[in-house]
Copies of this chain bind each other. A is one copy, B any other.
Amino acid sequence: MSLTFLSLLFRFILAVGWTVDLRTTPDNYLQFPSAAPFKIALFADLHFGENAWTDWGPKQDVNSVKVMSTVLDKENPDFVVYLGDVVTANNIMVGNASLYWDQAISPTKARGIPWASVFGNHDDAPFVWPMKWFSDSGIPQLRCPAANSSHLGEEDCSFRGTPRLELMRNEIMDNALSYSKTGPKELWPSVSNYVLQLSSSNDPRSPVAFLYFMDSGGGSYPEVLSGTQAKWFDSKSNELNPDSRVPEIIFWHIPSIAYGRVAPTFLPLSFCVGSINKESVAAQEAEMGIMKLLQERPSVKAVFVGHNHGLDWCCPYKKLWLCFARHSGYGGYGNWARGARILEITQQPFSLKSWIRMEDGHTHSEVILSS
């Protein structure tokens, strides 16, 4: 009797344990609101807060808000992805760069559109003091917190950049529409690592696609996707989508080294689709295994990155597509016209189409990424 009880208890523990193991879930769920295609706008390299101490800087941020407003009003997307370099923290002279981060998400928030963000190399960078301030001109009036003001002290006058965790927690805490996450602690200092399930309009449990957001580093640590992040993707994708039945779409900021290998010499004569090809790929510092996993997984359809302001192409690479977004911000280098890459996803059958919407309203570079 007591043996039977123990045996039953043991089986129960095993069963519960097993169930718990299997119950890996996405970090959050999005759902197609109707049978209509689901539309995502990618805002890349907004660079809010650039040259914040000049007249020029704040004007650029006003222009960036206009770009986003135009894109949002023309496309009316269901979701927005902030693809890193949301702020130019190395130019920001306040103790908490979330002030500028909030400005960057305001057009999306004002329209009630949900969003998710990943980090770029500028988002948590420490302030870079301009050399000319040390010559006779002196340092402009700084807004240093008083010694005993709230949680900030005069020490914050050293503008050491706002840590990724703090930026992300501020975003999440203040915004019910944010789908961003700080990601598993074992992946830190890499923070924006999470997966969203895009569910069918008919059944919130039925995934149409998994959207993976990853932190490609830079700023306070090297520009790289770590081996630990690769393992996290491997384990997460195999648990959520073991038979690779559901399409997967990947978002991060800095192009992998593989982007450099597919970069076209002359864009119109290549298999790539895009409108500008004005610079070399500024790739991550090393490849620690993520690309091998992605290229061997049939369900991975495309990777979307920002970082290079003078590139906006999508190129085929093995079984998937490697795509740049489009420079959306007036901050950051380069004067190529601003715009945003749009993704359009259909449910049955699944399809992934993309184009670029420019700030003057026109569109170009349409490409099917699911074939």
CB within 8 Å of B: which residues of A? 124, 126-127, 129, 131, 133-139, 142, 144, 151, 153-158, 160-161, 163-166, 188-189, 217, 220-222, 224, 226-228, 285-286, 288-289
A311–B163 Cα distance when bound, in Å, is: 38
Best-buried of A134, A142, A163, A221 by chain B (most CB within 10 Å): A134
* In contact, A165 and B161 (Cβ under 8 angstroms): no
* In contact, B158 and A126 (Cβ under 8 angstroms): no
A217–B131 Cα distance when bound, in Å, is: 11
* In contact, A228 and B288 (Cβ under 8 angstroms): no
Copies of this chain assembled into the complex? 2
Sample of 11 A–B contacts (CB below 8 Å) = A126-B220, A134-B222, A134-B228, A135-B286, A138-B228, A151-B151, A155-B166, A157-B165, A157-B188, A158-B165, A160-B160
Q: Tell me what chain A mostly uses at the interface: helix, strand, loop, or mixed.
A: loop
Chain B residue nearest in CB terms to A124: B158
* In contact, A135 and B222 (Cβ under 8 angstroms): no
Chain B residue nearest in CB terms to A156: B163
Q: Which residues of B contact A154 (CB under 8 A)?
A: 165
A289–B136 Cα distance when bound, in Å, is: 9
A135–B124 Cα distance when bound, in Å, is: 22
The 8 A-B pairs with the shortest beta carbon distances in the complex, nearest first, are A134-B226, A129-B221, A158-B163, A136-B227, A155-B163, A160-B160, A155-B165, A155-B166
Chain B residue nearest in CB terms to A169: B155
Could you say which of B144, B166, B288 contacts A136, with CB atoms under 8 Å apart? B288
Could you say which of B131, B156, B158, B227 contacts A285, with CB atoms under 8 Å apart? B131
* In contact, A138 and B227 (Cβ under 8 angstroms): yes
A226–B129 Cα distance when bound, in Å, is: 12
* In contact, B161 and A286 (Cβ under 8 angstroms): no
Q: Which residues of B contact A221 (CB under 8 A)?
A: 129, 134
Q: Which residues of B contact A127 (CB under 8 A)?
A: 220
Q: Which residues of B contact A161 (CB under 8 A)?
A: 160
Chain B residue nearest in CB terms to A167: B155
